[in-house]
Chain A
Amino acid sequence: MSSFLVQLLNGLAGASSLFLVAAGLSLIFGVTRIVNFAHGSLYMLGVYIAYSMSERLAGGVGFWFSLVFSALAVGFIGALIEMVLLRRIYKAPELFQLLATFALVLVIKDGVLWIWGAEDLLGRRAPGLEGSVEILGRNFPTYDLFLIVIGPVVLALVWLLLTRTRWGTLVRAATQDREMLSALGVHQSWLITGVFALGAMLAGLGGALQLPREPANLGMDMLSIGDAFVVVVVGGMGSIPGAFVAALIIAEIKAICIWLGDVNFGPFSISFSKLTLVVEFLVMAVVLVVRPWGLFGRPQGTPRHSGAPEAPLRPAGKSLRWFAVALVAGMAVLPLLQGQFPYALVLSVDLLIAALFAASLHFIMGPGGMHSFGHAAYFGLGAYGAALLMKAAGLPMEAALILAPVVAGLGAVVFGWFSVRLSGVYLAMLTLAFGQIAWSIAFQWDDFTGGSNGLIGIWPSGWANNRTAYFYLTLVLVVVGLFALRRMLFSPFGYAMRAGRDSVLRADAIGIDVKRIQWLAFVIAGVFAGAAGALFVYSKGSISPEVLSVTKSVDGLVMVLLGGVQTLAGPIVGAVTFTWLQDTVARSTDYWRALLGGIILFLVLVFPQGLAGFIHDLVVKLKPNREAAR
């Protein structure tokens, strides 16, 4: 029993940092409506800066000063990010903002790598709090007791700031109606910069406080942002007390899982300690389904004015059709050039698979209007499905290629059923949760999926087991897949789906069952993503949980956004550009992430409607001139 209570205390200590990070994220979301992916990176910066400072400054005072300095420094960096970057994209579509903050993640990660190196850095113990105290006959670190106190103290301070100062009142007003606030004469740019700085500062403090507990490492950004998302969603977007309660719940549930360890239920044994990675996402999924706006949140109204309506999709014109045919024909002769460009075929297979993956994501995102942040789940299900059908069930490649998309589709049936009940940011977060769940299963089920090592030796059947043959197989399947997706958009089903995106109410009124259509769209997208995954695994010969990671999902998002969400050629252009960029950049520098991030930022700032959208607009702009000249 005492071990259980001590474990609960442990959970409380963990909750503090979690709360600090999540509170900052929530605050920023409340005012800017931007879900800041880079918040975990700010947390990571907090750890590293605190490390460097405390190594330089000797003595007890030096250590504590380092923590404060680190928080302030990160707050300053946050303010800078807001002023230089985010301020320019407040009016851009939500997804672009996400993309921009994700690009920041890449840039900051490489910045940290460049300054501090790849090694884990173990910080000092907190002077004066190195020891432990005896609680219920067990030793409990004094520093953890300190952490337990810090959480509520910060909660109280933030609460006072928000409710007892004019600044706080304005921030709360801005959370509700920024346009009205400006019509009352409040200049908001500094207000927003201030909120961003405060949120970043909280993240930095959360990180700095963690230094004596775990070494600074480069994986901290993604882990902490995952946790923070969960806490914010569970607690309710924009609610600080909600973040506190949710942090406690999540941290305690994790602590209990660790305490439970391996439990035997008759012949079955469940390893609860392994569940820690997935349990928070399970909690989030449950909360989102039962109470989509979180424990302390409020249902979000429909946005006041969401810009111009989406332009209708147009079937391809004659010239575009010929271009597509020429492109496919051009690719078909590629193997002839294998002599000069041996790498071209390998890269082309990657490009084709990426195009199919991106097109399947685009299918639900653009015409469907559902922003999936966990599309890698279906790619991964297809890939693992193919690999396991071959390894465990002994099926040949041909059967596996047919059945793997079905596996992915079945996954989409389940995940989609939950997801279509939500919309907007909440839907995005739920799909992210499902993606994480799929990832952790693949990552931890060693016996079946090979765990973190993955599976190897998954090669195509004899006839396709050479570059040229596999390239043709991929080309045919991808072209058929892309064509099928496209045809569906111009079928009655496609029209119904777009009607549902433009107005759920009106679509419902003319007898379209919007949820059902969206669910079906989810499954279709899942099937095609699964096909891409299956093609992928045979092209590489091996597979690891990487294919299911958030990064893979975000790759897909980047491809779609690069190309432009509301153009049909968009995902293909985006996939090709992205994959090619990633490939070239990664081979020419160690800091490919930063370069990629920089390119994404540049593109977001310069082409807010995506590359294909940009080209389209350019063509439209030039056309009347041509006619006038005639």
Chain B
Amino acid sequence: MIHREPPPTLLTVEGLNAWYGAAHILFDVGFEVKRGEVVALMGRNGAGKSTTFKTLMGLLERRKGTVKLMGQDISGRSPSQIARMGLGFVPEDRRIFTDLTIAENLEVGRQAARRWPDDSPAPEWTPQKLYDLFPNLKEMGPDRLGGRMSGGEQQMLTVSRTLMGNPYLVLLDEPSEGVAPVIVEQMAHMILALKSQGVSILLSEQNVHFAELVSDRAYVLEKGQIRFSGTMAELAANEEVRRSYLTV
């Protein structure tokens, strides 16, 4: 590129509200993710992080507000349409297909390669590349059943499965939760590796240290509302926000 323009916005969320049945959970949530960024959505248990992700994916029946992915409105679309437009989702409970093998899990997530609006190729994934990124998966072999893997291994598989869809942006829900410290470290490496390959990531996180390791910017969510937005450095400096809304 010749001009040094600011990177284009990938995801814009404005006035997002969502409900489980009659329970109103998200209140006018707004944020954005730019191309190439890793952004952390932070908040304590029950703050609404997962709900935000599910709402973006179209998984909540009752929702309101605008969500734009590369300028296109996706707020009224079905989950499969949204995924096909290039938004990838890694759920917190992983939701591996336990009756399918590793190779089959990857196959389920497969989508055609994508290009950016400027016609340059977007990051593209093959099982081979993913096995290189996660040597553990490679060791187990493609025929291992999803149900016969440890939590950490399933975490790698669920990320790989979503990457097979070659998403522009990955929604990564609490990658560090409930896995061994070694895996947490691997996850951090993985996020940085993905970033270096041009994948943008919105991750949800409770743990400030993990977020600091990998993210550029952060939003802090509490009771379904955004309470803070800024760079990681600003969040690190803001003792007040960290004490009120996060577990340190």
Contacts and interface: CB of A to CB of B under 8 A. Distances in A.
A172 interface: yes
A337 interface: no
A186 B98 contact: no
A306 to B, nearest CB: 11
Contact of B108 (A179, A184, A187, A308): A184
A170 B161 CA distance: 13
Given A172-B99, A173-B100, A183 B83 contact: yes
Nearest to A176: B97
Interface string B133-161: 00000000000000000000000000001
B91 A180 contact: yes
B19 to A, nearest CB: 11
A188 interface: yes
A177 B95 contact: yes
Nearest to B109: A184
A151 B95 CA distance: 35
B97 A185 contact: no
Given A176-B97, A177-B95, A184 B21 contact: no
Nearest to A308: B21
Contact of A186 (B21, B22, B100, B108): B108
Given A169-B108, A173-B108, A179-B59, A185 B98 contact: no
Interface string B97-126: 111100010011101000000000000000
Nearest to A177: B95
A183 B99 contact: no
Given A172-B97, A176-B98, A183 B91 contact: yes
A187 B99 contact: no
B80 interface: yes
A182 B95 CA distance: 12
Contacts of B165: 184-185
Contacts of A169: 100, 104, 107-108
Contacts of B84: 185, 187
Nearest to A188: B80
Interface in A274-325: 308
Given A184-B165, A185-B165, A186-B108, A173 B79 contact: no
Contact of B80 (A166, A175, A177, A185): A185
A185 B99 contact: no
B78 interface: yes
A181 interface: yes
A181 to B, nearest CB: 7
Contacts, number: 60
Contact of B78 (A170, A176, A182): A182
Interface string B68-91: 000000000011110110000101
**Interface size bucket, B side?**
20 to 34
Contact of A172 (B21, B89, B100): B100
A183 B59 contact: yes
A170 B89 CA distance: 18
A183 B109 CA distance: 9
Among B83, B97, B98, B165, the most chain A Cβ lie within 10 Å of the Cβ of: B97
B162 interface: yes
Nearest to B107: A169
Contacts of A308: 21-22
Among A182, A187, A308, the most chain B Cβ lie within 10 Å of the Cβ of: A182
Contacts of B78: 182
Contacts of A183: 57, 59, 79-80, 83, 89, 91
B227 to A, nearest CB: 28
A169 B21 CA distance: 33
Interface in B153-206: 161-162, 165
Interface in A169-207: 169-170, 172-173, 175-177, 179-188
B34 to A, nearest CB: 23
Given A183-B59, A185-B80, A185-B83, A177 B108 contact: no
A170 B83 contact: no
A176 B95 CA distance: 9
A293 B165 CA distance: 35
A244 to B, nearest CB: 18
Contacts of A177: 95, 97
Given A180-B91, A308-B21, A186 B107 contact: no
Contacts of A185: 80, 83-84, 109, 111, 165
A187 B80 contact: yes
Nearest to B164: A184
A187 B22 CA distance: 28
A176 B104 CA distance: 13
Nearest to A307: B21
17 contacts: A173-B100, A173-B104, A176-B98, A176-B99, A181-B108, A182-B78, A183-B57, A183-B80, A183-B89, A183-B91, A185-B80, A185-B84, A185-B109, A185-B111, A186-B80, A187-B84, A308-B21
Enumerate the 8 nearest inter-chain pairs by beta-carbon distance, A residue then B residue, closest first. Answer: A185-B83, A182-B79, A182-B80, A180-B95, A185-B84, A173-B97, A183-B79, A184-B109
Given A176-B100, A185-B80, 13 more contacts: A169-B100, A175-B99, A179-B79, A180-B91, A182-B83, A183-B57, A183-B59, A183-B83, A184-B83, A184-B108, A184-B161, A184-B162, A184-B165
Interface of A: 166, 169-170, 172-173, 175-177, 179-188, 308
